[in-house]
Amino acid sequence: MRDQQPIAWRRTLASVLVAGLLVTNIGGTPAIAASMRRTPIVQAAEQARSSVVNIHGRKTVSSASEELAATDGARQVNGMGTGVIIDDRGYIVTNYHVVEGVSNIQVTTDKGKTVIARLISNDAVTDLAIIKIDVNEPMNAIRIGTSSDLMTGETVIAIGNAYGYEHTVTTGIISALHRPVQVNDEQKYSDLIQTDASINPGNSGGPLLNIDGEMVGLNVAVRVGAQGIGFAVPVDQVMEVAARLIDTEVQRTVSHGLTGKSVVKSDHTEFVVTSVSEGGAAASIGLEAGDVVVSVGSTQVRRTLDFERALLGRRPGEELELEVRRASDPLQMRLVLAPPRTDQPALTDRTWQLLGLKLAPISDKTFRRLTSQYRGGLRVLAVRPDSPAAFQGIRYGDILVGMHKWETISLDNVSYILDSDEFRQSQPIKFYILRGNETLYGHMQVSMQ
């Protein structure tokens, strides 16, 4: 029967046996023995190490928090966590709870250098934040995988600042997928990866890697009192939120006039344009919904984050070369970035102040591709933390299609609603949003003072 074994299998077995003899013999070759010890886990940890940073700072927590359940009043504590470099210019993604309330965010790199970071933006609903450190030379960004094809039982690796022990590496498997987890009264996650890789306080914001060394999740929580139960946010969700947090239009630095999303294929991920703003920079060069952006300048674009990274630091008036694929046809375009949109600033300020929303019109043509059930809606570009909209779970990319008994097809509709006496008398106000193919509703309590 042995002679019938596949040749490749027999060669692998022979290699293992020979290597075993070399390891056990005193006169064996150490280099060969060492090469057998450099497992995929060792290699994955080595590759990712320089892309992982440790985060320290002091924050105020109340006695209501789990950390201080036995104390009274508020108290200053040393906070710690982990971050992952997503851009070589020093942009780092982490959990918002790691940096929330920290006035002096200290970041330590794998080389032991400690610098002060600044908070760029955050999303309290998804508990994600972007911080940035100033760097003199390019940093190593993490290799990004996908969470769309994860398998229960596959090996994963967690790296983090566990209990302050920097760059701690632990291994385990994926125990389950799509777990809803209620951490406390304020924080709930709807779709987490469960793993038995040891995740401890300080691991929050660190990467969960697959066996190829690619980031497939962002470690976020541990089940207190349990062993071998930790959770991570799927990387596909992390990267989409991170892209929104550095979105140049949300940050109001330049305007490109398009929105898009990452689409995971069987062997790659691509960035697909979902809508183009009428009169915007993208519309002026003929970009259309359904186009795939392949590159922006020298940056290869595989997901939304790559597109937004390519626009960081750009100025209005700059011209960028775009490589686009429409169906199977390659197109070369030149996009001239426009100044930040300032249309109807008074309304923008009011919706931001009262509702916590930044809204943008959607063209009739684009909206008809999304649904035929409604006449129109307004796309959510940003949600202010701790706002009425944030408390109701409204997210970037949602489409507001109605409030109370009124449609919200245009910004003028929203202005009318905010000015109406019925709006003031109907608190909490009912709202309707379109998320994917689902219509969701809630009740938003809006203070008019």
Give the phi and the psi of residue 5 in degrees, each rounded to 5: -70, 145
Marked catalytic residue, from 51, 56, 87, 97: 97
Q: For residue 7, what are the contacts with CB-CB under 8 A and spacing of at least 6?
A: none
| Beta-carbon count within 10 A of 79 CB | 24
> CA-to-CA distance for 159 and 111, rounded, in angstroms?
15
* Structure tokens, 277: 């703003």
> CA-to-CA distance for 397 and 385, rounded, in angstroms?
16
Please report the sign of the dihedral spanned by the C-alpha atoms of residue 224, residue 391, residue 433, residue 376: negative
Query: Are 145 and 214 in contact, with CB atoms under 8 Å apart?
Result: yes
Q: Do the bridges between strand 215-222 and strand 165-182 make them parallel or antiparallel, or are there none, so unpaired?
A: unpaired
3-state secondary structure (DSSP) of residue 436: coil
Rounded to 10 deg, the angle between the 235-245 and 304-311 helix axes is 30
> CA-to-CA distance for 395 and 127, rounded, in angstroms?
12
Marked catalytic residue, from 204, 275, 277, 387: 204
Give the CA angle between residues 83, 38, 48 to the nearest 5°: 15
Give the phi and the psi of residue 40 in degrees, each rounded to 5: -55, -30
Judge whether 167 counts as a catalytic residue: no
> CA-to-CA distance for 104 and 93, rounded, in angstroms?
17
Judge whether 268 counts as a catalytic residue: no
> CA-to-CA distance for 249 and 269, rounded, in angstroms?
23
* Structure tokens, 96: 């918002």
> CA-to-CA distance for 256 and 89, rounded, in angstroms?
21
Alpha helices in 268-350 (DSSP H): 281-284, 304-311, 345-350
Query: Which of 279, 240, 232 has its CA nearest to residue 263?
Result: 240
Query: Which of 245, 198, 238 has its CA nearest to residue 215?
Result: 238
Residue position matching structure tokens 């919200």:
408
Marked catalytic residue, from 123, 127, 236, 247: 127
Judge whether 204 counts as a catalytic residue: yes
> CA-to-CA distance for 200 and 427, rounded, in angstroms?
42
Q: How far is CA 237 from the centre of its chain?
A: 5
* Structure tokens, 136: 């003199």
Residue position matching structure tokens 């610098």:
115
Catalytic residues: 97, 127, 204
